[in-house]
Structure 1
Amino acid sequence: MKKIILSACILLAVTQISNAQKGFKPLFDGKTTTGWHTYNKTAVGSAWQVQDGALHLDLATKGKDGGGDLVTDKEYGDFHLKYDWKVAPKANSGLIFYVHEEPKYHATYSTGLEMQVIDNDGHPDGKITKHRAGDLYDLVKSTSEPVKPVGEWNKAEIISKKGKLTLILNGVKVVETTLWDENWKTLIAGSKFKNWENWGTFKKGKIALQDHGDEVWYKNISIKEL
């Protein structure tokens, strides 16, 4: 009887996990960089190494042209994105979305929104309001800071549906805002992006992992189109 109950519990757990992940597709297979390329290029910079199931920006292999922001080959509109990240001490990076890839824009952040990835206490940007882990970079400050200590993995989620944007860090909802309405325009007008052409206006775009010149890791990247 105990074996039957245990088997039933295991089956229930597996079913629950399956249902929870239903509709999500991996953006990173844990083994290769298939589905990604360096922004405005065709290949992937050599500094982005796949190590232990994670994408690692390895500064030791960076060289002159070995880095750059990684972007997905595909564009996304409404979506639910999940990913894990960790940084080295004093490091800075970001998950950038709604990126419009075109040679006239020199970087992913020229058009895309960013959920901040950073060592809050070790990197100078962490001293700036709206530049801390989980913030909608330079636009909306997190309501709390559930970030893990440097070197530990954080679980993040970005949900964007019909203009409603939600950012979640380690299971805590840290940012909620509405995109592309009058308040959004006001937020941009009060930010560093106020004079940037078309910034924050694209309703479909690519997802990027930022090379900010510091060591960072990403894994378990999956997405569900909504």
Structure 2
Amino acid sequence: MKRLFFIAFALVVTMDIYAQNAPANALTKTEIKEGWKLLWDGKTTDGWRGARMNTFPAKGWSVVDGTLKVHKSGGGESSNGGDIVSVNKYKNFILKVDFKITKGANSGIKYFVDSDLNKGEGSAIGCEFQILDDENHPDAKNGVAGNRTLGSLYDLITAKKEAKAGFKKDDFNTAMIIVNGNKVEHWLNGAKLVEYERNTQIWNALVAYSKYRTWPNFGNAAEGNILLQDHGDEVFFKNIKIKELKK
């Protein structure tokens, strides 16, 4: 019964989201009434900082025509400005992010990120909604059974290929992540790609056979930061919105 309720809840929310048309980086009256908040105002870097610093990166990112732009560096992941994270941490939520990739680009949206644990080089660690040009980036063929392709829970669960039929390679697409307790879903342009449950034996076994096996209790944190990834490729983000859920 609980599972059916969650599925019905997600469908209702999704239908409501895609029925609305709001100006860029703004909330409709309905969204405000329902408790949505902007995670990015479309003009400044307020509310965000570098994953390994207390301020916003001085290079690698810029605000361009109402978008957060990741600059192409050619140096690999987090080698330029580095990842950015939300100043606040979140527990139960619906997150929406519009993104646009360029040819061959790689990036991601991460959640349950604990930036205090992410030291050293490379991208900060967290559950990841993979953003990738599946046709032109080699990572699409790595991992296991496509679990590094667009929309997948990176290196863990493969996104349903048929649910990505509406992906627009030259325009903005809407990623949505729903976290309701231990139940998590990935959506793309209104189609569900992935669903899973954390803090279970099955989840822990899955992690044990992934690149995250060396991270204690990976993915089981009660809360964490939201992260936008700098993987050295040009990517654009806008309309970053979140609705916190009561649990």
What band does the TM-score fall into relative to the shorter chain? 0.7 to 0.9
Unaligned runs of 5+ in 1: 1-12
Q: Does the C-alpha gap of structure 1 residues 166 and 193 become closer, same or farther in structure 2, counting only changes over 3 Å?
A: same
The aligned counterpart of 1:221 is 240
Aligned pairs, number: 210
Q: Does the C-alpha gap of structure 1 residues 187 and 103 become closer, same or farther in structure 2, counting only changes over 3 Å?
A: closer
Cα deviation, 1:94-151, whole Å, max 9, x if unaligned, reads: 0010000115634685541000001111111012310111101111111232352433
The aligned counterpart of 2:62 is 49
The aligned counterpart of 2:6 is none
Partner Cα separation in structure 2 for residue 218 and residue 108 of structure 1: 21
Larger Rg: 1
Matches within 5 A, 1:184-203: 184-203=203-222
Q: How does the TM-score come out when normalised to structure 1?
A: 0.85
Query: Does structure 1 residue 151 correspond to structure 2 residue 173?
Result: no
The answer to whether the 8 Å contact 2:80/2:232 transfers is no
Q: How far apart are 1:40 and its partner, in Å?
A: 1.7
Partner Cα separation in structure 2 for residue 44 and residue 99 of structure 1: 17
The aligned counterpart of 1:18 is 29
Partner Cα separation in structure 1 for residue 49 and residue 159 of structure 2: 30
The aligned counterpart of 1:39 is 51
Partner Cα separation in structure 2 for residue 113 and residue 198 of structure 1: 12
Query: Does structure 1 residue 174 correspond to structure 2 residue 186?
Result: no
Higher mean Cα deviation, 187-196 or 33-42?
Answer: 187-196
Q: Which amino acid aligns with 1:35?
A: G
Percent of matched pairs sharing the same residue: 38
Q: How far apart are 1:184 and its partner, in Å?
A: 0.8
Partner Cα separation in structure 2 for residue 222 and residue 99 of structure 1: 17
Q: How far apart are 1:88 and its partner, in Å?
A: 0.9
Q: How far apart are 1:67 and its partner, in Å?
A: 0.8
The aligned counterpart of 2:25 is none
Computed over aligned residues only, the root mean square deviation of the Cα atoms, in angstroms, reads 2.3
The aligned counterpart of 1:136 is 153
Partner Cα separation in structure 2 for residue 204 and residue 111 of structure 1: 14
The answer to whether the 8 Å contact 1:101/1:108 transfers is no
- After TM superposition, where is structure 1 displaced by more than 6 Å over at least 4 residues in a row? none
